[in-house]
Amino acid sequence: MFCNQCEQTAKGQGCTVRGVCGKPPEVAALQDLLIHAIKGLSLYAHEGRKKGLVDPDVNVFTVKGLFSTLTNVNFDAADFEKLIKQCADLTARFKEKVAAAGGNVEFSDPSASFQPARDLEGLIRQGQEVGMASDSSADADIQSLQQALLFGIKGISAYADHAYLLGKEDDRVFAFIHEGLAALTDKSLGLEDGLKLVLRCGETNLLTMELLDAGHTETFGHPVPTEVPLGHKKGKCILVSVTT
């Protein structure tokens, strides 16, 4: 395995045996495979928008799937098996819609034609083959931008998933996520292209946080200062300690 998506990563370089967070290598492989599958789905979703096709199921699944790959969110291999196969089904169905609308469905990237293995062990092997978050043949600076874009999109997806649960969504968020993931399959994109996408990722993140904030305040109200007791009394407690 190789995972370097968080500040906990081993030696500040990457976890290669088991995640410092506790993530086993099998789950790391399944998460990599889910990202690979969602890239394929995103190619068709991005192309579909050019033809006026937007599928709410594809949108919601995309952010849910990406959110599940963040550190400490889900270590259940069986869940990832379901998500990967669900992604393949969604991709096949949406590909047919794009083709019927006259859109391009001929993509060279392997993610576009991904077919999941029949069992969990086979899926893990597939995940081990697609592992890295960036194109290892690309320039180091471009690889850095690719990883920054992917990890940024994962963060957006976490906010977007929460906002959706609170009744807030904006297709501009879903559209950028699909465009960004589709761009990660394009080997012709240069340094300037990658930088622009990363900056747009930041802009989209702010939009998503606005949606989440609106969802929170409309559901739970605006936060206000509240007095709390500072003394102690007999009974159970939560101990908070701070070290400097």
pLDDT tens-place string over residues 77-122: 999 999 999 999 999 999 999 999 999 999 999 999 999 999 999 9
Q: What is the pLDDT of residue 243?
A: 67
Under 8 Å between Cβ of 90 and 40: no
Q: What is the pLDDT of residue 10?
A: 87
Q: What is the pLDDT of residue 138?
A: 82
Adjacent-strand bridge partners of 3: 15
Report yes or no on 141 lying in a domain: yes
Q: What is the pLDDT of residue 96?
A: 98
Query: CA 56 → CA 1, 5, 63, 228, distances in Å?
Result: 33, 28, 11, 43
**CA Rg, the chain, in Å?**
20
**Is the model's pTM score more than 0.85?**
yes
Domain of residue 216, CATH code: 1.20.1270.20
Under 8 Å between Cβ of 21 and 71: yes
Q: What is the pLDDT of residue 165?
A: 97
- Domain hosting 172: range is 10-220
Give 55 or 139, the one with higher predicted confidence. 55
CA–CA dist 150, 225 (Å, integer) = 37
Q: What is the pLDDT of residue 35?
A: 97
Question: In the 8-state DSSP scheme, what is residue 31?
Answer: H
Report yes or no on 230 lying in a domain: no
Question: In the 8-state DSSP scheme, what is residue 3?
Answer: B
* Residue count of the chain: 244
Number of domains in the chain: 1
pLDDT band at residue 244, thresholds of 50, 70 and 90?
A: low
CA–CA dist 69, 73 (Å, integer) = 7
Report yes or no on 236 lying in a domain: no
Under 8 Å between Cβ of 27 and 84: no
Q: What is the pLDDT of residue 183?
A: 97
Report yes or no on 227 lying in a domain: no
Question: In the 8-state DSSP scheme, what is residue 109?
Answer: S
Is the confidence at residue 242, as pLDDT, over 80? no
Question: In the 8-state DSSP scheme, what is residue 223?
Answer: -
Under 8 Å between Cβ of 133 and 5: yes
Is the confidence at residue 131, as pLDDT, over 90? no
Q: What is the pLDDT of residue 81?
A: 98
Is the confidence at residue 52, as pLDDT, over 90? yes
Under 8 Å between Cβ of 69 and 154: yes
Q: Which of 134-138, 175-179, 202-206 bottoms out in mean pLDDT, i.e. has the lowest?
A: 134-138
Is the confidence at residue 9, as pLDDT, over 90? no
Report yes or no on 55 lying in a domain: yes
Write the CB contacts of 69 (distance below 8 Å, at least 6 apart in sequence): 31, 34, 35, 154
Interior angle at CA 40, CA 163 and CA 117, nearest 5: 105
Neighbours of 119 (CB within 10 A): 10
Report yes or no on 49 lying in a domain: yes
Q: What is the pLDDT of residue 8?
A: 84
Q: What is the pLDDT of residue 49?
A: 98
Report yes or no on 1 lying in a domain: no
Write the CB contacts of 8 (distance below 8 Å, at least 6 apart in sequence): 19, 20, 21, 71
**Per-chain mean pLDDT for the chain:** 94
Q: Which residues of 68-95 are buried (b: 16+ CB within 10 A; e: fewer)?
A: bbbbeebbebeebbebbebbbebbeebb
What is the percent of the chain with per-residue pLDDT over 70, rounded to a whole number?
Answer: 98
